[in-house]
Amino acid sequence: MSLSPLDPAGLPPAVDVSDNSAALHAVDEVIARGPYDATWDSLTRYQPPQWYRDARFGIFIHWGAISVPAFGNEWYPRTMYQQGTAAFEHHRTTYGPHRSFGYKDFLPHLTMEHFDPAQWAGLFRRAGAQYVVPVAEHHDGFAMYETARSRWHTGNIGPRRDVFGELLTALDEAWLVSGASSHRAEHWFYMNPGLAFDSDVRDPDFLDLYGPALRKEVTPTERFLEDWLLRTVEIIDTYRPQLLYFDTGIEEPSFEPYLRRLAAYYYNRAAQWGREVVINAKWEAFRPGSVVPDLERGSLATTSPEIWQNDTSVSRSSWCWVPDHDYKSAADLLAELADAVSKNGNFLLNIGPKADGTIAEEEAGLLEAIGDWLAVNGESIYGSSPWRIHAEGPTRTPAGPHSDGAAASYGVGDYRFTAMTEVGHDYVYAIALTPVHADRLRVRSFGRSSGLLERPITDVRVLGFRGELIWTVTDDALEVVLPEELPPTAGGPVIRIELAPEEPHRRIDFFHGIGI
């Protein structure tokens, strides 16, 4: 493949960020005004907002120059410099010596000429997402937003547009909540393999892109930590995201005082805007109770009393665009969504757009299929709460992070449960985790002898069907005859039961009770 290298003559001068004293003073002034201060005692008073608890489903976007080589996965900017790896050999064979063509030389080829933010926002709405979190900067040090702290951003190189800002504007116009994801923390060591041999990472002209390039074992410098904080503050002030997602790296002990300052600043700025916001982080980098914990590609073993999030991807093999993805099926993804929500979690699903600004047909198709299922069954997801138990069935979901390497073999009888109370009406939902080809379903947890129903069942529905159902309750189970007219979707059907009221109803539930 023949790609022209970056022309350094077309770059503006490097940005001097060596003196951060004034910017840090401005941060501390915002913190001083409250309502939060930069202590864990203060920050653990935080409560996740209702919009986030109700949303349950969001879209994650890994985009950037990593989609130009589109080889392996999103760690190519590092592995291409790791001698002896497939990425290293691929790079040398395809693009030539690393000294002559390095990672920086991919940046002009992130053209995004077909990027249509309104079209993307429309797709995300049809998918049923309630919030969208594009990556602002990945480990590679190239910002997808216009930053005053670096010359390496999409306004100067590649698209020559603020693609991040344009997308957030389109999301706002589509009534979607927008967030921002920062993966910059790992940049302190990310490009280090390029220092081990004659590569462009050694070139002093590109130090401001390739960063410290320290070894992973070395603690980040104060200057790097200050820059990390101020880049995040810049994203907050410029774009006002209602969710900040942080990848790994920030759990390093040296980040701790900067995390406290960042959280206090963000929560205080949100209070000034009159908005409620969320921070997602992994590995207890923040003190528990101060943010919403995130579990990458994983699930909990049981229901959490506090809200959490599973972030995963449509692909098992990569977060960014590559042509040879190992895609999950729509049924797999819907089962993961139901599993997370049943345990009081949200589900943040990643896609990886191409370098030309388009979303691959396979990935758009998966989102459309999820949206079709949610259009019928969303009542069991949005605004729902955990029930007394989260699951029924023989198949167990692996617990812990990075546990989605293989599809779970769900069958008939595998369910996830959610619940909702609306104007005095109490509903419980049994979400089948696989498309059902039988003519009836049995839910043992809804049987009279299960001990799980504190009141009798007064009504049974299959979501998406408005007619009369045939159903019976025995000591062993609730048995429902599935109607032939049920709309086909990629996921399993949802059975909804209504429990007898604790006191006479004062209101009719028009929207759920009679389906207006």
Q: Is 510 left (phi over 0), alpha (psi -120 to 50) or beta?
A: alpha
Rg (the chain; Cα; Å): 25
Average pLDDT over residues 217-226: 96
**pLDDT, tens digit (0-9, with 9 covering 90-100), for 368-426:** 999 999 999 999 999 999 999 999 999 988 899 999 988 889 999 999 999 999 988 99
**pLDDT value at 188 more than 60:** yes
| pLDDT at res. 424 | 87
> What residue ranges of the chain are covered by domains with CATH 2.60.40.1180?
390-403+410-499
Sequence-distant (6+) residues with CB within 8 A of 220 are 188, 212, 214, 228, 252, 254, 255
| pLDDT at residue 1, as a whole number | 66
* Token pair 């770059």: residue: 11
Residue 471 sits at the vertex; the CA angle it makes with 381 and 464, to the nearest 5 degrees, is 35
- Answer for the pair 46, 37: CB distance below 8 angstroms, yes or no: no
Pairing of strands 177-178, 180-182: unpaired
- 324-371 confidence digits (pLDDT tens): 999 999 999 999 999 999 999 999 999 999 999 999 999 999 999 999
8-296 CATH fold = TIM Barrel (3.20.20)
- Please say whether the dihedral angle defined by the alpha carbons of residues 30, 34, 40 and 45, taken in this order, is positive or negative: negative
Q: Are 31 and 265 in contact (CB under 8 A)?
A: yes
Residue that the structure tokens 């060596």 belong to: 18
How many Cα neighbours within 13 Å face the side chain of 280? 28
DSSP 334: H
Band of residue 41 on the pLDDT scale cut at 50, 70, 90: very high
Whether residue 476 contacts residue 447, with contact meaning beta carbons closer than 8 Å, is answered with: yes
Predicted confidence (pLDDT) at residue 443 exceeds the cutoff of 60: yes
pLDDT, average across residues 267-273: 98
505 has pLDDT over 70? no
The per-residue pLDDT of the chain, averaged, comes to: 96
Q: In 3-state terms, the chain is what percent helix, strand and coil (to 5)?
A: 35, 20, 45
E-only strand ranges, 365-506: 385-392, 415-422, 425-432, 440-443, 457-462, 470-473, 478-481, 494-499
| Cα end-to-end distance, the chain, whole Å | 57
Pairing relation of β-strands 425-432 and 415-422? Answer: antiparallel
Kindly report, residue by residue over 279-325, the tens digit of the pLDDT: 999 999 999 999 999 999 999 999 999 999 999 999 999 999 999 99
Say if CB 141 and CB 190 are below 8 A apart: yes
State pTM to two decimals.
Answer: 0.97
Which two structure tokens, joined as six digits, stand for 496? 């909804």
> What DSSP character marks residue 448?
G
What are the start and end residues of each CATH 3.20.20.80 domain in the chain?
A: 8-296
The pLDDT-based confidence of 469 (bands split at 50, 70, 90) is very high
Quickly list DSSP for 178-235: E-EEE-GGGHHHHTGGGGGSSSGGG-GGGHHHH-----TTSPPPHHHHHHHHHHHHHH
Q: How far apart, in Å, are the Cα atoms of 254 and each of 37, 188, 218, 224, 260?
A: 19, 12, 11, 11, 12
When pLDDT is cut at 50, 70 and 90, the band that residue 514 belongs to is low
- pLDDT mean over 487-505: 91
DSSP string, 397-425: PP-BSS--SS-----TT-EEEEEEEETTE
CATH number 2.60.40.1180 is the correct assignment for the domain at 390-403+410-499:
yes
- Which residues 6+ apart lie within 8 Å of 284 measured at CB? 251, 293
Contacts of 39 by beta carbon, 8 Å cutoff, 6+ apart: 260
pLDDT at position 397: 87
Q: What is the C-alpha to C-alpha distance for residues 62 and 353, in angstroms, rounded to an integer?
A: 7
Task: Please give the Cα distance from 357 to 267 (Å, whole number).
Answer: 33
